Structure 1
Amino acid sequence: MGPARKKMKLSEDRAKAVTAEAETEQFANGLEAVPNDEEQKKKQFQERRSLFVRSLAATVTTDDLTELFSQSYPLKHAIAVLDPATKQCKGYGFVTFADAEDAQRAIEEFDGSTLQGRKIRVEIAESRQRDMNSEVSGHKKSIPSGAVAEAKAAREQRKRETQRPPKLIIRNLPWSIKEPEQLALLFRSYGKVKHATVPKKQPGLMAGFGFVVMRGRMNAEKAMEGVNGKEVDGRTLAVDWAVEKDTWQGLQTGAQAEESDDGEDKDAVLEEEGSDESEENDEEDMTDDDHDGGVDIEPAARTTNPNVNNNTLFIRNLPFTVSDESLEDHFSSHFGPVRYARIVLDQATERPKGTGFVCFRKESDADACLKGAPRPRKVDDAKASKKEAAVAVAHSILQNDDSDPTGRYTLEGRILQISRAVDRSEAARITAANAASRFNRDKDKRRLYLLSEGTISTDSPLYQKLSPSEVMMREASAKQRKMLIQTNPSLHISLTRLSVRNIPRSVTSKDLKALAREAVVGFATDVKAGTRQKLSKEELARGGDEMKEAESERRRKGVGVVKQAKIVFETHGGSKVEESTGAGRSRGYGFIEYYTHRSALMGLRWLNGHAIDYRAQENKGKESKEDLLDKKKRLIVEFAIENAQVVNRRTESQSKARERPAAAYQGGNPRAGNKSTDNAPGFNQTRNGQGTRKRKREREGDGKVKGNGKVQQRDQVPSAVGPKDEKLAKRQQIIAKKRIQRRERKNGEKA
């Protein structure tokens, strides 16, 4: 250490000087005090609980930082400093622990660790030294007088202005200037533009101003003279020098009515520490308050007033043309002083969502406004029809003007719906609950949960038994069904109807029905043997009262669990044909309809992947390749997709068909206009007096029936048949004869 230098210490009145002897003695005392001061600073350094985290990735958020450090130690606060323009992390953040020892351990544990692919650095956060009495090597800095301090500050200010590149702020920018490159083009003719910035309030929402940093103050002055007042896309630009952040914040302090608490002040200090590392981001810092003027009303939620939520109301059914100012004017003129009014914007479209918030200065005004607000009409009458109930709760542009006779709750012709506002956490919970409710409602309405029934997982033993062609068929079926459901909202999945594919062509509808009955019994047998899991309570409860009524009806009729089984047949030309004609062949798919969802689910799980290793009919002669493959096919069974409109029309026609005979019989005319009912062929009277029509081939003397159930010819026509019916019967006889002749010719050619 070199020898001590003589140092003159000036008092405030500049009267005395310190002698060399006094200086030497003071320096000696200072040397003794240095170790103690260093120990004290080291102790204070160790007691700090805030850590500075740097080298963060641009995608890191505050939640990511909190999640990383809270895994090991309790946190008091964590923040990742974001760029106001890009909403991305600036590369650093701060973490405050509840205990200083935890902070020291966190440095050892997390320094050099990896977060989102980046190795982070963790160290103690050092606050900025702003006091004039700070000590360096045991010597206290002198306290200058007011004039000296002002002169020094002015010199430093001029020095900073000359050293730093000149920065301009451009206000009243048109919405057509969205990128920094577009803004820089306006200034390149006056000199080199180092960089330009166009801040945004929200993604896609322009703030209306920008910043340009140029090289050389003379170039900046020329640019300010040339661009200031220039009209661009109907907007007159205003160019001025960009002031420092501290100066701008000082001007804004008088306009701010709310104060931050101590914790928020500490956070602000930490943010300022980080922001000093990059001088190029000062212009983004100046836009912080501009962001607060958007949709986000977080400053109101941070206020120390515990009753702020009681003063805030949530407004629905707002006109899309309303603004913050018009909303505030409306409520302040009708209900009382308003602290603020905000409309909510859709982040995707950047347009009003039709909702907003109004915060009153007095809670009594908010209560009075809420108390007198019109309520939506509800249908309380139990006898009201479904149509009336739907109209009462459905959203409509038509509204009842009588609900707001005073007109205070009507804005631009729309009646407002008002409710008490909730905090952010409760609003998020309600939004999630409503979304889940709507999803479950729509999902249950179309029964989309049945879409995955019939899918065989790749790790299942049954999947290994499938042939490559069957795997491709199943994958194509899953994609097709998903696309149909997504593109057509009228389609839904049936609870009781199954779609069966990959059926051998030799299987008939009768065989399929027998197989469907066997599936229910086989499922119950497997459950009893413990080889298959039984149906859950949720699965048994599906369908509700509708399934219970269907089961009761089935038991009352004394029929089996299978309502219908049908194989789709086609002609050689590819058009559909009824199986009863015997003129076509199977398409390889069909449908099974059970009476209840319970039976359908049991049948699906037993039939799906079931191998059909038999044929219903034995063919003579050499077996073809197709016949051999029939023995190895495994069924693809899924719940059938139906069109809701078609199902409704079919249900209505069936109900009308059942009601018509009963209504006609009760009126004393069973045939409802047919005078020859009693003499009509095939119409018999039952014991209870109701008429039933039998099939023609069951009537005695109606015609000859072959063993396969087809009518060969009719020997006579009943006398009660009219001329038109007789002509139609002769035509059918001719067609039947031609079919028989055609079939005989084919059999002769094959022989």
Structure 2
Amino acid sequence: ESNKKPKIIRKTARLVVRNLPFNCTEQEVEKHFSKFGNIQEVKLLRKNDDRLVGCGFVQFENKLAASNALSHTSGEPFKGRPIIVDWAVPKRKYHSIKCVETTDVDSKESELSIKSVASEITEDNSDETVLLDNSKRKTKTNNSRKKKFRPDVDNSRTVFFKNVPFSVDNEQLRECAEELAGPVEYAVICLDPLTEHSKGTAFIRFKKKHVAEKVLSNECKLVLLGKELQSHEFLKKEDLLGKHLEDKTLKDKRNLYLFKEGLIVAATTAAREVSQADMNKRLLLEQQRTRTLKNLHKFISTNRLVVYNLPFYNFDNKKLLLLFKKYSPKNAVINEARVMRNLKDLDESGMPKSKGYGFVSYEKHEDALSALRAINNNPEIFRVNKRPIVLFSIEDKGVLLIKQKRQEKAKKQKSGDTSPDSKMNSEQSQSEPWKEVHSGNKFNKKQNKNSKTQINGNSKKSIPKFVGITGKPGVIKFPKKHKLQAQAITHKNQVKQELIRKKLANKKQSRKQIRLKKNINK
């Protein structure tokens, strides 16, 4: 009898409890969980200095009690602190699954933090022994593998269910479906690959199509252990992925596709004859814009443009407005044209000095887009070595909300005066002061269609060489720093090569002129 080893029960009904208060004890945790069933063991993890980690394990007698405790206590407060309860995973199994799965990790720091948390939460499984022989264990695993179902060709008889009780197995689910609905081909509960516990979802394939239709239309409801199962139409993985991608494309609320509009990439036709200073400035702006757009409160405006490389002297709001009027389509409405100035730094005449950039906002997105493509990187405007850089402006949601509140307050104050003259004045003031129409004629639908075709690039007119990248709706990737640096190096090399070519061409021309002069003298 002394030679016999003590039998240890396998820890299947074991829960891990996180975010525990640091002043709690094993007795308090046991008291909190004992109302759901008999508890065999409570273990709180501690550091080397005997301080609590804030995590522990609760071992129940059976799986049903553990599942009830999980559903009722997870997220609920314990000693004034919400606790997180989940199924405990043996250390060996956790690491084996972790090795198979490939996950994208943003940085080394996050990888280290995940590993440290995992090592604290998972418990060593070395003391657990199995009561069955190895041979029996192998046969069981082989049988479980054989029971896997192949994907169905006809999905009309298969129904997906949610809100399935955690303690229910496949046989119980099948019996319930056959009793309340009709004959069943198979019933499978979805299991978590890490914990091998129920996810609370299941698939049932009925033998007859009309039974499945009744269940989907809620004519026949399945109730199991007091819970009503929620029926949903069966979808394949491909369909789910397609839906997910569609949602992603539709949910571009921040207009991020406009980020690429007007960008000049090195080693392209648009980048030819662009100065090194201009290219460096463009790449720096691109880097700054990627950084600001990481903030989810920032978005790209569809109607407002920001213009860089403006002349510092003799260039005011009127000149900026005239410039954009010249290159805008007919009947384009400009709401704002403003050169940003430094109020602290004044010139000789006492006027604030220009900061070298400004903003122009349009009534319609199409007009703003066509103006951007006409002015951005145009060598005929300003100087060849200092071309205008036009991009869609990045706005802040919070700032816009404050502006709207101010405008509403101003309108309320003006509406307080009920005299007819004041009403006329308020109506005139409400019409925006910056709103100026390029042409006095009314807007025609034909002209609108023509402008759209020009924007989409379907017009017969040839696109100028200086136009950069055109933005298209969809998921975009922001440029990384090393790629921008590589662009700067390639452009620098190209500028050097062009200078060498120009020098060689000038030398050839000068030699030809000398030869011609010599021939004339002879």
Q: Which is higher, the Rg of structure 1 or of structure 2?
A: 1
Q: TM-score, normalised by structure 2?
A: 0.49
Higher relative contact order (CA 8 A, sep 6+): 2
